[in-house]
């Protein structure tokens, strides 16, 4: 049984959605709603909207949507019950002790407990003879015992099952340890064998913003491969979502973060007094990580490795971070391949001077292009200017563009008007391309092409539109249900996804329960809730009638035994947009 509607309603009446969202999004009131930059995707124009009247949110950019509970789930990576617990603690309310299934929450808690005990175990090995080799390796990297302890570093012994046996003795089953990715397994002679995933490695725990050990990184002590082994995705950890050492850096009071490629660089920087150093986790920077960084800093300084791989990673990071609106500066590492090497060779002052001389992202991009060409030749100069124009065309601010165009004109002895014209032409070309892409996306969305949630929509378009309209009406005018309930059943629906949504609504209304959006959170997955929220918003403020319900029902029943083949993607852009102008979709 789910947590009761009465408790959920009381909870959401106590905790308003604006107060939950505002720590993550800078909200501005627009009439009866609030808007801001979406925390779930990169954007420069606010498309994230909060609806206080219904305790819901919707992003018109990426489609993320749902209730206050969904927001907490998504932003904090919690399951349904954990999100309600978090909101209950915020409201000072006592959750009911029974009546809901918290098995997933309990599994997550067991993984976190196992990770915590594993971190203690690995750290304790450093003080034993079998951990001496790893300890000397860490000390040889210039780390102090204080730093090693601060980051909870440790040693995975050169054994097949020492950790497994230790955690087994504490009551953790092999299945739990496998789910936590602390052990691996294989089958031999029909028998499943479990063994430690990390062996003979220097271990670094990955800690989330709430102080939980969610994963581990294990590094070899020599040049053997793989150099690093990291925890795979689990119920408590998703690669590309967390940032190493952000749990420490967020408390420094600094509005700047130094982002490194690896956690050993971040640890070294911390030891040398740069407490605002953080690191990615073995993958290229993701949009989720960029959004996370933008919540805790106004500026990110990229301190990536100076090798080819580091340069590629740096360029991608600039692209990802640029769309968050956060200020970017790029460190030019000279005298060493990475921050750790520079600190050990030259000390804190050298790195500090590099930090103070870091260029912004535009200067870095222009310099990178300049180094590719021989500017002493007319052809090299021309090729550089073509690439520079592409960089400047990315700038949205007219004043910023003007400053760099003026500077470029002076340095290259080329007319400012000529450069300005080239930049304007490229910006116009890109704008036209984006508009064409927008029309194509509207076509795909309206036709159901590529619809992951409802793949049958594209070939059952007429039925799907009628199903969606009926769902929209009942979410906004549930009082109509009593007048149509005998005329339609979930099994009449043509598309599986809409049938699932309607089944939840049908069962709730049959039991005389509310279909307010926040109360549906426990019935749908995150993606399903986003779609249900979108359908609900489409009908907000519209006066529907029972006759419209019956029209939808008639279409659904007509289409039940046949498939339609409407292909909006085959229409021209003009024909497609005319459909919207005529109100025919």
pLDDT (tens, 9 = 90+) of the chain, 585 residues, equals 468 888 999 999 999 999 999 988 889 999 999 999 898 887 778 999 999 988 999 999 888 999 999 999 988 888 888 899 899 998 999 887 655 666 777 898 999 999 999 999 999 999 999 999 999 999 999 999 999 999 999 999 999 999 999 999 999 999 999 999 999 999 888 899 999 999 999 999 999 988 999 999 999 988 888 888 999 999 999 888 899 999 999 999 899 999 999 899 999 999 999 999 999 986 689 888 988 898 889 999 999 988 888 888 999 999 889 878 789 999 988 888 999 999 999 999 999 999 999 999 999 999 889 989 999 999 999 999 999 999 999 888 899 999 999 999 999 999 999 999 999 999 999 989 888 877 776 666 665 555 778 888 888 889 999 999 999 999 999 999 999 999 999 999 999 999 999 999 999 999 999 999 889 988 898 889 999 999 998 877 788 899 999 999 999 998 875 644 444 455 556 655 554 454 443
CATH classification code of 455-582: 1.10.860.10
In this prediction, residue 95 carries a pLDDT of 83
Question: Would you call 230 helix, strand, or coil by DSSP?
Answer: strand
CA-based nearest residue to 420, from 392, 454, 380, 452: 392
Confidence (pLDDT) at 573: 62
Task: Give domain limits for the chain.
Answer: 5-91, 103-207, 246-361, 372-434, 455-582
What is the rounded CA–CA span in Å between residue 247 and residue 206? 10
**Residue 515, pLDDT score:** 93
Give the Cα separation of 185 and 178 in Å (integer).
8
The Cα–Cα gap between 539 and 473 comes to: 7
Residue owning tokens 């050492």 = 245
> What DSSP designation does 3 have?
P
Question: What local confidence, expressed as pLDDT, does residue 287 receive?
Answer: 84
Could you name the CATH architecture of 5-91? Alpha-Beta Complex (3.90)
What is the pLDDT at residue 444? 62
Tokens of 576: 């497609």
Identical fold, 246-361 and 455-582: no
How far is Cα 121 from Cα 172, in angstroms, rounded to an integer?
A: 14
Task: Quote the pLDDT of residue 68.
Answer: 95
d(CA 547, CA 364): 63
In this structure, what token pair is assigned to residue 416? 């400012």
pLDDT tens profile 60-95: 988 899 999 999 998 888 888 889 989 999 899 988
Q: In this predicted structure, what is the pLDDT of residue 453?
A: 83
Q: Which CATH architecture has domain 246-361?
A: 3-Layer(aba) Sandwich (3.40)
Contacts of 541 (CB under 8 A, 6+ apart): none
Q: What angle do CA 300, 305, 310 make, to 5 degrees?
A: 90
Amino acid 579: pLDDT: 46
467-495 pLDDT, tens digit each = 999 999 999 999 999 999 999 999 999 99
Alpha carbon distance 338, 314 (integer Å): 13
Residue 311 to residue 337: CA distance in whole angstroms = 11
Please give the pLDDT value at position 473. 95
Domain 103-207: which topology? DNA primase DNAg catalytic core, N-terminal domain (3.90.980)
CB 332 within 8 Å of CB 357:
yes
Distances (CA, A) of 454 to 494, 531, 538, 566: 11, 10, 18, 16
Q: Residue by residue, what is the 3-state secondary structure of 15-82? A: CCHHHHHCCCCCCEEECCEEEECCCCCCCCCCCEEEEHHHCEEEECCCCCEEEHHHHHHHHHCCCHHH
Two tokens at 339?
A: 């921050």
Across the chain, mean pLDDT equals: 89
| Residues of the chain by 3-state class (helix, strand, coil), percent to 5 | 55, 10, 35
Strand, helix or coil for residue 465: helix
pLDDT at 584: 42
pLDDT value of position 49: 95
- Cα distance between residue 94 and residue 78, in whole Å: 19
- Ordered DSSP codes for 530-570: HHHHHHHHHTTT----HHHHHHHHHHHHHHTT------GGG
């Amino acid at each position: 049984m789910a947590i009761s509607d009465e408790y959920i309603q009381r909870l959401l009446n106590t905790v308003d959605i604006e107060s939950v969202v505002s720590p993550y999004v800078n909200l501005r009131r627009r009439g009866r709603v609030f808007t801001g930059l979406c925390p779930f995707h990169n954007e420069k124009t606010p498309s994230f909207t909060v609806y206080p009247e219904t305790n819901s949110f919707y992003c018109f950019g990426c489609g993320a949507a749902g209730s206050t509970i969904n927001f907490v789930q998504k932003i904090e990576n919690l399951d349904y019950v954990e999100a309600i617990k978090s909101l209950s603690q915020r409201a000072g309310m006592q959750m009911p002790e029974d009546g809901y299934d918290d098995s997933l929450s309990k599994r997550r808690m067991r993984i976190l407990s196992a990770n915590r005990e594993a971190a203690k175990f690995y750290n304790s090995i450093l003080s034993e003879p079998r951990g001496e080799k790893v300890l000397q390796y860490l000390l040889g990297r210039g780390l102090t015992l204080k730093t090693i302890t601060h980051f909870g570093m440790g040693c995975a012994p050169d054994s097949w099952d020492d950790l497994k046996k230790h955690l087994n003795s504490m009551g953790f089953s092999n299945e739990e340890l496998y789910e936590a990715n602390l052990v691996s397994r294989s089958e031999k002679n029909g028998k499943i064998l479990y063994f430690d995933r990390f062996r003979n490695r220097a271990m670094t725990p990955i800690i989330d913003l709430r102080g939980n050990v969610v994963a581990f990184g294990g590094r070899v002590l020599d040049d053997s491969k793989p150099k690093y082994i990291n925890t795979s995705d689990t119920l408590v950890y998703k690669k590309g979502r967390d940032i190493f050492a952000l749990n420490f850096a967020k408390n420094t009071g600094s509005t700047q973060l130094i982002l490194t490629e690896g956690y050993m660089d971040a640890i070294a920087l911390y030891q040398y007094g740069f407490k605002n150093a953080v690191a990615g986790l073995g993958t290229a920077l993701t949009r989720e990580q960029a959004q996370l960084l933008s919540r805790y800093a106004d500026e990110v300084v990229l301190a990536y490795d100076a090798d080819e791989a580091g340069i590629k990673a740096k360029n991608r990071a600039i692209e990802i971070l640029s769309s968050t609106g956060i200020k970017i500066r790029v460190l030019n590492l000279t005298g060493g391949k990475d921050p750790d090497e520079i600190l050990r060779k030259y000390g804190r002052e050298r790195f500090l001077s590099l930090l103070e001389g870091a260029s912004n992202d535009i200067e870095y991009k222009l310099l990178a292009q300049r180094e590719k060409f021989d500017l002493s030749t007319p052809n090299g100069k021309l090729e550089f200017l073509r690439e520079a124009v592409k960089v400047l065309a990315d700038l949205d601010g007219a004043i910023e563009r003007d400053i760099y165009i003026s500077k470029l004109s002076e340095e290259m002895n080329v007319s400012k008007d000529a450069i300005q014209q080239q930049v304007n032409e490229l910006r116009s070309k890109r704008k036209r391309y984006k508009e064409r892409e927008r029309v194509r996306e509207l076509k795909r969305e309206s036709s159901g092409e590529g619809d992951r949630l409802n793949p049958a929509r594209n070939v059952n378009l007429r039925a799907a539109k009628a199903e969606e309209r009926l769902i929209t009406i009942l979410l906004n005018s549930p009082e109509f249900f009593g007048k149509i309930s005998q005329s339609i059943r979930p099994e009449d629906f043509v598309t599986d996804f809409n049938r699932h949504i309607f089944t939840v609504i049908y069962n709730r209304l049959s039991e005389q329960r509310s279909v307010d959006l926040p109360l549906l959170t426990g019935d749908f997955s995150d993606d399903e809730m986003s779609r249900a929220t979108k359908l609900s918003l489409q009908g907000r403020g519209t006066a529907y009638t029972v006759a419209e319900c019956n029209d939808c029902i008639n279409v659904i029943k007509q289409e039940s035994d046949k498939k339609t083949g409407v292909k909006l993607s085959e229409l021209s852009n003009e024909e497609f947009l005319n459909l919207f102008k005529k109100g025919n979709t």
